[in-house]
Amino acid sequence: MKGIVFTEFLEMVESKFGLETLDNIIENGQLPSEGIYTSVGTYDFNEMVTLITNLSEETNIPVGDLIYAFGLYLFAGLANSHPEVIKNYNTPLGLLYCIEDHIHVHVKKLYPDAELPSFKVLDKTDTSISMVYSSSRGLYRLAHGLIEKAFEHFGGTATITYDLLKEDGTEVKFDIVQNG
Ligand code: HEM
């Protein structure tokens, strides 16, 4: 997993839960990188799992809810670090439609070792889109947060529902309907 995801995660922990919580989740000797990440580095996904599990124990907030909150936080971090990746889109549905074939393709050029999910579009109208998220990492709650913020980025909102096609969350269908 790319370092930018780790640096954004630690930033979120500090801003939402404070420095003490941040120290507690990294200073327990379980992390090979000892909580030190650079945005261009690549780290084991298990380190992220450890950080989120520790945060969940520390805050008593379920892991899934923390991953969703991180998705909400991460969108702005990605958009600000790489404005060129999203500057050509003028609607949230247009952006979502292009994650697989443009956005993440661009990300792969920036970070050749990025491990990205796939988003297969099943159906798109002027006001809605249905797509299937697949990834061995099962970060569909992260996708949910990112999708929600994509709408806010353009000044809108959406009703987002999802169905787990596989129980472990490695394949999840999203139905997204723009509000208003
Ligand atoms: C990883 C979804 C837009 C850059 C991910 C992951 C998800 C995701 C769920 C986690 C990896 C996985 O599940 O296997 C989305 C959605 C987007 C979006 C739903 C739009 C709403 C973007 C944009 C950028 C970006 C705009 C960059 C400007 C990345 C990067 C990673 C990533 C750097 C980390 C890859 C790694 O750790 O190896 N994306 N993404 N994404 N995405 Fe996106």
Asked if residue 28 has pLDDT above 80, the reply is no
Burial of 144 per CB tally in 10 Å (0-12, 13-18, 19+): buried
The predicted-structure confidence for 87-137, as pLDDT tens digits, reads as follows 999 999 999 999 999 999 999 999 999 999 999 999 999 999 999 999 999
The predicted-structure confidence for 147-170, as pLDDT tens digits, reads as follows 999 999 999 999 999 999 999 999
Per-residue confidence (pLDDT) for residue 175, from 0 to 100: 98
Asked if residue 180 has pLDDT above 90, the reply is no
What CA–CA distance (Å, rounded) separates 149 from 142?
11
Q: Is 10 in the pocket of ligand 1 (CB under 6 A)?
A: no
The predicted-structure confidence for 29-72, as pLDDT tens digits, reads as follows 789 999 999 988 999 999 999 999 999 999 999 999 999 999 99
- Domain spans of the chain, in order of start: 3-61, 85-178
Q: Is 124 in the pocket of ligand 1 (CB under 6 A)?
A: no
Q: Is the dihedral of CA 141, 143, 145, 148 positive or negative?
A: negative
- Quote the ipTM score: 0.94
CA 103 to ligand 1 centroid distance, Å: 9
CA 115 to ligand 1 centroid distance, Å: 9
Burial of 18 per CB tally in 10 Å (0-12, 13-18, 19+): exposed
What CA–CA distance (Å, rounded) separates 71 from 132?
17
Q: What's 91's DSSP letter?
A: S
CA 67 to ligand 1 centroid distance, Å: 13
Which of 75, 67, 81, 96 has the alpha carbon at shortest distance from 153? Answer: 75
Per-residue confidence (pLDDT) for residue 104, from 0 to 100: 97
The answer to whether the CB of 21 falls within 8 A of the CB of 55 is yes
Higher pLDDT, 39 or 4: 4
The answer to whether the CB of 147 falls within 8 A of the CB of 96 is yes
Residues 6+ apart with CB under 8 A from 180: 156, 157
The answer to whether the CB of 13 falls within 8 A of the CB of 22 is yes
Q: What is the CATH number of domain 85-178?
A: 3.90.1520.10
